[in-house]
Amino acid sequence: MTESVLVTRALVPEAMRALDGRCELDLYEGPPEAIPRDELLRRAAGKDGLLTLLTEKVDAELLDAAGPQLKIVANHAVGFDNIDVPACTQRGVLVTNTPDVLTEATADLAWALILASVRRVAEGDRFLRSRQPWVWGPSMMLGHDMSRKTLGIAGCGRIGGAVARRATGFGMRLIYHDPIRLPSDVEQSLGLAWVEFDTLLAESDIISIHAPLTPDTRHLFDADAFAKMKPTAVLVNTARGPIVDEPALAEALRSGQIFAAGLDVYEREPAVEEALLDLDNVTLLPHLGSATIETRTAMGLLTVENLLAGLADRRPPSLLNPEALSRR
Ligand code: DGY
């Protein structure tokens, strides 16, 4: 019997080809917005597998709508804050994500935002496109040096570590805060020192966020946090939007409480806080962290591999809830 699968948005062609003939495919091909919730609930009914994106909320309601035959939710993202994993486990539904394959691309993009924010790259581009008259000047559009500055990593897993590795050439001091401290040999090899969160805020010239979104990290960067940062500091977020209180960030940037920010993710994604759109000292990208041809191909293929393994009652390579295996 062929297993049936709902895919909520077309993946890159190579990954779609890997699905060819391997299952009965129901592909959502609606407008560019995410699949509407009522359509998701309707089309999930009776499916053996769901291949979801970070835009779909996978909760008890969706799992119930899918039905007891559902074997696997294969998420096309490393982050899985869109999925109620305990609700899946309780129903014996496997959950997978796409770790490792996007680490380097996301770390690269964090650095793109760091440099763009510190050196006012996007602002300079916008300025020239405005066709205003200009001439080189000693005080024109000054940013900050990178060398000898302190880079703070908020949440230091795979991607945070890759961001730290890239700092070597800039001659920076590296500090991090994570509730789980890295083994000391890893700290040493990356040149990272663990600090309390308040120390990270007070001492960093640049803070790059690489924490997962959890109840503990929601609004970790709020008005209080910005008040503890240097007025020359830069904040970069390539993790999840709700870790930053966006209205509070807009106010900190507007008032000069911090120097600049670079954002790839948003609190109410895809909406962007209106106040940010009017500020020149924030660089805004549309969630491009993993958006390279190589990385999206690897993510797509890994998602399909996870999905097909789950459908065939094999253990998927990136299984998040092994306890679900014993409940099936
Ligand atoms: C993820 O994988 O969690 C990113 O946000 C999108 O690639």
Domain edges within the chain: 4-99+293-327, 103-284
> What CATH number should be reported for the domain whose range is 4-99+293-327?
3.40.50.720
Going from the C-alpha of 256 to that of each of 151, 179, 201, 230, 251, the distances in angstroms are: 20, 30, 16, 10, 8
Q: Which CATH class is domain 103-284?
A: alpha beta
Q: For residue 22, indicate whether it is catalytic.
A: no
Whose alpha carbon is nearest atom 4 of ligand 1? Answer: 77
AA letter at 140: M
- Please report the atom of ligand 1 found closest to the CA of residue 77: 2
- Please report the atom of ligand 1 found closest to the CA of residue 97: 2
Cα–Cα distance for residue pair 80/213, rounded to 1 Å: 9
54 lines ligand 1 (CB under 6 A): yes
Give residues with Cβ within 8 angstroms of 23, minimum separation 6. 2, 3, 4, 5, 48, 49, 307, 308, 311
Cα–Cα distance for residue pair 226/248, rounded to 1 Å: 8
Strand partners, 153: 176, 208
Whose alpha carbon is nearest atom 2 of ligand 1? Answer: 77
pTM for the structure as a whole? 0.97
Catalytic residue among 104, 240, 267, 305: 240
- Distance from residue 72's CA to the centre of ligand 1 (Å): 19
pLDDT tens track, the chain, 328 positions: 589 999 999 999 999 999 999 999 999 998 888 999 999 999 999 999 999 999 999 999 999 999 999 999 999 999 999 999 999 999 999 999 999 999 999 999 999 999 999 999 999 999 999 999 999 999 999 999 999 999 999 999 999 999 999 999 999 999 999 999 999 999 999 999 999 999 999 999 999 999 999 999 999 999 999 999 999 999 999 999 999 999 999 999 999 999 999 999 999 999 999 999 999 999 999 999 999 999 999 999 999 999 999 999 999 999 999 999 999 8
Domains 4-99+293-327 and 103-284 share a fold: yes
